[in-house]
């Protein structure tokens, strides 16, 4: 039998194609500066960044899975392995279903005791996976897709929002002639302004009987990170900080982290003005997306934010492993349904422009205020 020999150049081409299609997998002991920079470049999300203070804490003792093709990372997933479970430490990454399944299969092969792989919060569409899985919506990321120019953004937000912004600004300038709003970037950011904005947020939370979420670790991290990746807007009246916004930049994505105003300026919608001016500054600086993060508040939609669901995802070794976890799945499903109903009542209901729904929204707000008046509500960021 004869043998057909392909030309060497053609064989080289086939080898190059195979190399380009091959996925290389490596697991590292711990995070390092190179992997951290690669994660920022790959995901461009604050909550997935090893530089985020909560993520940095979660990454302690983690191993890091890297799948790459032709030297380019496809996914970088820090994880913990304990008690028959692998839990991904980073959150809010956007990950393709094929890469989730590749990771899960590798974990099942690498660790024979692992029955379940857990993504606490991930942006993914797991429908095409062959491994058994269970998912439920656990949070959201409110993202504004920014146009090329401020003029384009002003045109897109609509006539009513533009009119309200002008009206709020005119009222402030009339009642408080000393009102000024300025934006500070990275090295020009003043530490005291950052701390004053956080203090206003704490004041607002306490005024609503909400337990403030800030501790010394977070405050110090905010101050330090702002000096290298920050965008801070400050509204001053009579030289004092009346309101402000603290955001961060990772690549061409921006993230609103703290926004607050003094209660005595409640009638002037200073929070909306802070959002608007900071978004516009992001556009000027070439931002592609501005993340307003979790909380499906109506004003975020008016500023053109779109809701991206963030899911909790469990991937199981086998159907039998999933069946053994039916009680856990049932509990999580029930919890997820309660959460969705709560979000609909607190946020989505107010956007339905029908008389019966409006009355129900008023009742919900009344009950919410009564709960806050009793004290002890933990919560949400102050806006």
The answer for residues whose C-beta is within 8 angstroms of residue 297's C-beta and 6 or more apart is 347, 383
Tens of pLDDT along 152-185? 999 999 899 999 999 999 999 999 999 999 999 9
CATH of the domain at 185: 3.40.630.30
Give the tokens for residue 202: 């704490």
Q: Report if residue 9 sits inside a domain.
A: no
Tens of pLDDT along 249-299? 999 999 999 999 998 898 899 989 999 999 999 999 999 999 998 888 888
Q: Tokens 């993504």 map to which residue?
A: 119
CB count within 10 Å of CB 147 equals 15
Distance CA 361, CA 292 (A): 23
Instruction: Express as a percent the part of the chain with pLDDT over 70.
Output: 85
Using a 10 angstrom Cβ sphere, with 0-12 exposed, 13-18 middle and 19 or more buried, the burial of residue 21 is exposed
Structurally, the chain folds into a number of domains equal to 2
Q: Report if residue 47 sits inside a domain.
A: yes
Which pLDDT value is given to residue 344? 73
Tens of pLDDT along 35-88? 999 999 999 999 999 999 999 999 999 999 999 999 999 999 999 999 999 999
Cβ(278)–Cβ(246) below 8 Å? no
pLDDT over threshold 70, residue 356: no
Distance CA 273, CA 270 (A): 5
Q: Is the dihedral of CA 338, 344, 346, 347 positive or negative?
A: positive
- Owning domain of residue 328: 15-138+310-342
Q: Report if residue 368 sits inside a domain.
A: no
| pTM for the whole structure | 0.84
Give the tokens for residue 248: 């961060």
Distance CA 265, CA 253 (A): 30
Return the bridge partners of 293, or none.
142
Give the tokens for residue 46: 């604050």
Per mean pLDDT, which range of 128-132, 209-213, 342-346 is the poorest? 342-346
Are 177 and 282 contained in the same domain?
Answer: yes
pLDDT over threshold 70, residue 5: no
Q: Report if residue 179 sits inside a domain.
A: yes
């Amino acid at each position: 039998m004869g043998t057909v020999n392909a030309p060497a150049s053609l064989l080289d081409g086939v080898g190059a194609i195979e190399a380009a299609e091959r996925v290389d997998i490596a697991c590292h002991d711990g995070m390092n500066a190179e992997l951290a920079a690669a994660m920022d470049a790959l995901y461009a999300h604050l909550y997935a960044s090893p530089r985020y203070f909560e993520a940095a804490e979660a990454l302690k003792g983690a191993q890091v899975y890297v799948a790459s093709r032709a030297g380019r990372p496809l996914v970088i997933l820090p994880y913990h392995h304990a008690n028959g479970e692998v839990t991904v430490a980073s959150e809010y990454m956007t990950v393709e279903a094929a890469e989730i399944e590749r990771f899960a299969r590798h974990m099942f092969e690498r660790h024979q005791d692992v029955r379940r792989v857990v993504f606490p919060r991930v942006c993914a569409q797991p429908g095409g996976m062959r491994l058994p899985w269970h998912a439920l919506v656990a949070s959201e990321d409110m993202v504004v897709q920014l146009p090329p120019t401020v003029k384009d953004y002003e045109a897109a937000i609509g006539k009513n929002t533009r009119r309200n912004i002008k009206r709020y600004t005119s009222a402030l300038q009339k009642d408080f002639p000393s009102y000024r709003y300025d934006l500070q970037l990275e090295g020009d950011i003043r530490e005291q302004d950052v701390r004053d904005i956080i203090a206003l947020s704490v004041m607002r939370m306490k005024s609503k009987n909400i337990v403030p979420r800030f501790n010394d670790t977070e405050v110090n991290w905010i101050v330090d990170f702002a000096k290298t990746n920050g965008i801070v807007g400050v509204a001053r009246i009579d030289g004092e900080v009346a309101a402000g916004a603290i955001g961060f930049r990772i690549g061409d994505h921006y993230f609103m982290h703290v926004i607050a105003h003094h209660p005595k300026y409640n009638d002037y919608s200073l929070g909306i003005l802070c959002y608007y001016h900071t978004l516009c500054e992001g556009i000027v600086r070439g931002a592609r997306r501005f993340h307003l993060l979790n909380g499906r508040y109506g004003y975020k939609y008016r500023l053109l934010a779109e809701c991206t669901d963030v899911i909790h995802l469990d991937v199981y070794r086998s159907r039998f492993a999933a069946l053994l976890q039916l009680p856990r799945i049932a509990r999580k499903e029930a919890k997820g349904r309660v959460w969705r109903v709560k979000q609909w009542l607190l946020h989505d209901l107010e956007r339905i422009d029908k008389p019966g729904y409006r009355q129900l929204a008023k009742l919900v707000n009344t009950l919410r205020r009564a709960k806050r008046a009793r004290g002890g509500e933990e919560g949400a960021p102050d806006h």
